Structure 1
Amino acid sequence: MAIRLGLSLPQAQQYDIGRDVPDVARTAERIGYESLWVYERALFPEPQTQGLYGIEGLPWPDEYRGVPEPLVTLTLAVTATERAELGTSVLVAPLHGPFQLAKALGTLDAASGGRVVAGLGTGWSLDEYAAAGEASFEERGRVLDEVIDVCRAVWGPDPVTYEGRLAKIASAVVAPKPARPIPILLPGNSKKAMTRLVDRAEGWMPIAMGVEQLDTQWRQLQDLAAERGRATPIRTVVRVNARYTPKAYDGADRSPFQGNVAQIVEDLAAHAAIGLDEFFFELQGHARDAQELKDVAAEVYEAVRAAGI
């Protein structure tokens, strides 16, 4: 059975969001992509006060300048598509008020006919937390837990009631409801995060950093799920941060998914052999414009399917 393939929507500076997002979404679905994805980067500190991912001295990439709001971006793709799932990978949940986030996701799912996938995370940028003013960085894990609780309550049957630290909902009708239960996916890069995922989420959203590392994490997650008695399977959606080049990259320092289409397909085949459900390609950051993004996305998709993956 072929793996499912997805594509990131254009959010970098070189794109015209209102024009290019619907165009790329429509084209990607026509090519055959089964899911479309957005990410969240709320701001770009200048001068930088913190390294990328919190790593001292690591600069933020220019593609993080001016990233549009993720749910607005997905909304632009709703009426341009009919079948593709619409996902966040990831939305930094503690930057948002839990009730309003739950209501927005529920509304988007209703509008799309049940196609939203809520990939949630805690983020790492201190500047973003300070700007959002919703929660402290130190409490990000607890806040994510409450966001999940509020979402489950708001998306559930009326009347909705909820009593938490951040949100308090007296008996109320909260509509529109999602067209179907919205799956929540989480990263799982620590024992605590994996435990949250196994106990509270439908799926796992890792980044393809290499076959051995991904395989090890997947085995750890499966072992933990068995240990904790999880009965339902864990959906897997792997983010592929591809660095496409027209010609083959022949340097000894080649990283996974760096190079031409043949090299990207070769790397995907190795990662898919682990037994994961779905991969989506992040190609938009390095494309010159929407036309190049569509062309490369089509070439990659056709090559993957031709390889029988």
Structure 2
Amino acid sequence: MPRNDLAAGSAICFSNRPGFLGALGRFCQRSYAADYVALICLIVGWIWIQLFVNPFHRMFYLDNKSIQYPFAEVERVPVLWSIIYAGVIPFLILCTWAAMFRPGSHKVHVTILGFFVALMLTSFLTDVIKNAVGRPRPDLISRCNPRKGTAEDALVAWTVCTQTNIHVLQEGWRSFPSGHSSFSFSGLGYLSYFFSGQMHVFRPRTDLGRCLLALCPFLLALMIAISRLDDYRHDVYDVTCGSILGLIVAYFSYRRYYPPLRSPTCDIPYDKSDKTPDGFAKLPDDEEQQVQRQGESSHSWDEEAYQLGGSTTAQ
């Protein structure tokens, strides 16, 4: 039996049980409770990382030119504005879309749920990778303020730093991947995927105006990512990897609730009551269906031949 069939069978058996376990199984099958539980876990994990986890401090050379850029006191896109650009504004756009077109409660529900899942999953993965890698930022020396007399041509640890602002110092080892880039491409990328699906951008002979409208969120996310290069907070490698991470998570979250963008029904989300949603369950392929048809036709032919022979013998 295929793996998907085994999983579906086990879920059905679990929901058919009497008592609390059966009720819980039926509730999870008919609702998005498991998604909300996972989303809450992501939020709690992200908050825990922000409060209690310090990054790995890689050793560095004071004469390393790639980390000698100045520390920008004023950022072009601060953290708060990146949240507004990639989180608040797309959310308000989705709410405006829901109020204007009234697509139905289920469609609005899964669209906004997928949006928040994309944002939180991206933020959680980005911070986990940042703290595990511990890559120095291009402005690390300016943040560190190393003690006078420290050897410039020898590997030194973070203990040579005299920076009194702990947050500024710890952020110096959170360069990879770019959080602004991953977050912006996650929120705005999800919005772009959503626009593409609702307007059927990949339908043959779609007008250029729809395509440009669907690409607008991508352009804004790209400008936010480039601002991190201008502020010397990250290099090209950090920004590129962060952007790719945000795009992948956004597409993953969008596809959990919507069909592929090339599907004729790409603007209609999956129905939770669907037993075999497209892409999540194995359906018999053409060969299996052909074998089944041949077996059924040969079986019916044998029965007819038997009845014909019996009637001839009786005569």
Higher gyration radius (CA): 2
Considering the TM-score relative to the shorter chain, is it more than 0.5? no
Question: Which structure shows the higher strand fraction?
Answer: 1
Q: Normalised by the shorter chain, which TM-score bucket? A: under 0.3
More RCO (CA 8 Å, sep 6+) = 2
